[in-house]
């Protein structure tokens, strides 16, 4: 069983920055995916960024490429998301997730392939 706890959300103005953290408890394996998704009211949960522990390679949604950076502190079981140059459309609840390679495969952006989710942290960007 894995539990995920996010923190770091808040309110910022456009162009500002935030750093989200996700601390995992339980066993993490080298074929785990760890990632961030977000959901706005009336919209489906969408992929933001993910990292595959086996290769440490990051993946990003086009909408955040060049602005967000995902990283993993494996020894601390912590997943980070540094968000720079925030835009109004980044406003959402951000969820940390964990998935396993056999199920996620190359489809990291599909939320229904992920197994565990945190409770979410709210990010509000205003002009």
* pLDDT value, residue 2: 86
Write out pLDDT tens, residues 49-93: 999 988 889 999 999 999 999 999 888 889 999 999 999 999 999
* pLDDT value, residue 127: 87
Give the pLDDT band (50/70/90) at residue 101.
Answer: confident
* pLDDT value, residue 118: 97
Q: Which residue has the tokens 């060049």?
A: 66
* pLDDT value, residue 28: 74
104 pLDDT more than 80: yes
Among the ranges given (4-8, 42-46, 83-87, 99-103), the one the predictor scored with the smallest mean pLDDT: 99-103
* pLDDT value, residue 26: 83
* pLDDT value, residue 98: 94
Write out pLDDT tens, residues 10-55: 999 999 999 999 999 987 777 789 999 999 989 999 999 999 988 8
């Amino acid at each position: 069983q894995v539990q995920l706890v996010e923190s770091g959300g808040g309110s910022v103005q456009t162009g500002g920055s935030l750093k989200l953290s996700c601390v995992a408890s339980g066993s993490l394996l080298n074929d785990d995916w760890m990632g961030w998704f977000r959901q706005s009211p009336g919209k489906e949960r969408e992929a933001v960024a993910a990292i595959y522990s086996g290769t440490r390679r990051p993946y990003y949604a086009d909408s955040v490429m060049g602005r967000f950076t995902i990283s993993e502190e494996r020894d601390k079981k912590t997943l980070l998301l540094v968000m720079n140059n925030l835009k109004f459309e980044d406003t959402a609840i951000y969820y940390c997730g964990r998935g396993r390679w056999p199920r996620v495969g190359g489809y990291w952006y599909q939320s229904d392939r992920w197994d565990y989710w945190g409770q979410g942290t709210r990010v509000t960007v205003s002009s």
